[in-house]
Amino acid sequence: MTVYAKLKALLPEENYIYFGDTKHMPYGEKTKEELLEYADKIFDFFIQKRAKAVVMACNTTSSVIYDTLKDKYNLKIYPVIQSVCGIIAQLPIKKAGVFATHATVNSNAYKREIQKHTPNIEVIQISCPEWVKIVEENRINRPQSTIQVKEKLDEMFEFNPEKIILGCTHYPYLMNILTKFAPKDMFIDPSIYFAEFIKNDLKENNLTEKSAGSEEIYVSSNPEAFKNAAGIFYKIKNTPLLKTFD
C-alpha cells in the first residue's frame, strides 16, 4: 500500500488492480517455495484481469523469487529492489545500511544489486522482523516500540553508514521514531524512487494510460480488517473486494 499510494499520486490516469495477500502475510518469514506458490496464483489472477504490468512492491518477493519469475510471464514486471538499486548506487556515498526482513537480508539482494552498479559501496544489512508487527498492529506510539527500533539503530550505527535504506514497505511508517535518533535525510524510502522509476519506464515504453483512472482492490482474507489497517497507508474509499485462494 505504501508503494501503491505513491504510484496513484504520480500516475492518477492509470487503471490499478491491487492485490494484498492478507492470508499469508507476513512474507518475510516464508520459504522460497511458499512464495513461488503464492506468486503463481497472484500472477495468474492479474493475467485474467488483463494487466499490462505487475509491480512487485514487496522487498521479500523481489529479493527471493523475482529471478525465477521474470521470464515466466509475458508481462512487464517491476521488482522494487532491482528497480531502485541503480538509483541508490548513484548517490555520493561509500557506505549504506539496509534494514529489511530476514528473507531480504538472507538473499543479499540489496548488497548484490547496489554493488552491481557501484562495486565500492559497502552495504551493511540488518534484519528487523519485529518492525513489521509494530506497524501492522498500530503500536508505533508505544514506548516498547521505540526501544525495539532504537536497538536496531544502535546496532547499525556501529558501522557508521552514510545512508540507511528502509528495505521493507512498512518501515517508512516508523519515521517518527527513527528521526528521534538520526536526521530524516539519512533514511531512504525506496518506494519514492520506485514510483518515479515506474513512471519513467512506462513512458519510455509507451505504456502510459490517458483515462479517468480506475481502482480495484482485492485481498485474500479479512477485507474489513485490511481496510482498517490499510488506512495507515492509503485511504480506501470503498470496501475491498475479496479474492480468496485455496
Burial letters 91-118, b for 16+ CB under 10 A, else e: eeeeebbbbbbebbbebebbbebbbeeb
CA–CA distance, 96 with 125 (Å, rounded to integer): 9
CA–CA distance, 244 with 228 (Å, rounded to integer): 19
CA–CA distance, 209 with 190 (Å, rounded to integer): 24
CB burial of residue 225 (10 Å; 0-12, 13-18, 19+): exposed
CB burial of residue 16 (10 Å; 0-12, 13-18, 19+): middle
3-state helix, strand, coil in the chain (%, to 5): 50, 15, 35
- Residue 92: which residues within 8 A CB-CB, separation 6 or more? none
DSSP conformational letter for 93: -
User: Residue 132 to residues 40, 169, 201: CA-CA distances in angstroms?
Assistant: 24, 9, 30
Which residues carry out catalysis?
58, 168
Which residue is it, cell 522487498? 59
CA–CA distance, 168 with 4 (Å, rounded to integer): 14
